[in-house]
Amino acid sequence: MANVSEETQAILDRLKREGDLVRNSGAHSLKGIKVELGKFHSVFDEMKKSLKGISKQRNGSPDVLSQLSALRVADQQAEADRAKREEQLAQEEFQKSVT
């Protein structure tokens, strides 16, 4: 190889080491990491089961947002009813005062 500076050589060495990781050689290669994660297979299965249970419970119950929306509609209806009743009372009192 042509004359290269120490910095360039360091970069080339690092690229070579990282390329070796991708090629599944060495203790910290992708293959080595996959083997290490295999030890946690049963843990991952339990997490999956737990998440499925949570999802099932959530899908079985009414959505919080829809509950809030229903409450908001009920509050608006109650307010409209109250305003209508107040208007009726005001009209009745006006009619009494005129006669």
> The tokens 């990781």 sit on which residue?
21
Quickly list H helices, the chain. Answer: 6-22, 30-38, 41-60, 64-98
Averaged over 37-44, what is the pLDDT? 77
- Residue 17 confidence (pLDDT): 77
Output the pTM of the full model: 0.36
Q: How far is CA 86 from CA 6, 29, 92, 94, in A?
A: 89, 77, 10, 12
Same domain as 99, residue 70: yes
> The tokens 């690229």 sit on which residue?
15
pLDDT digits (tens, 9 = 90+) for 45-97: 888 888 887 777 776 665 666 777 778 888 888 988 988 998 888 888 888 88
Same domain as 47, residue 19: yes
Same domain as 71, residue 53: no
Same domain as 5, residue 40: yes
Confidence of residue 6 (pLDDT cuts 50, 70, 90): confident
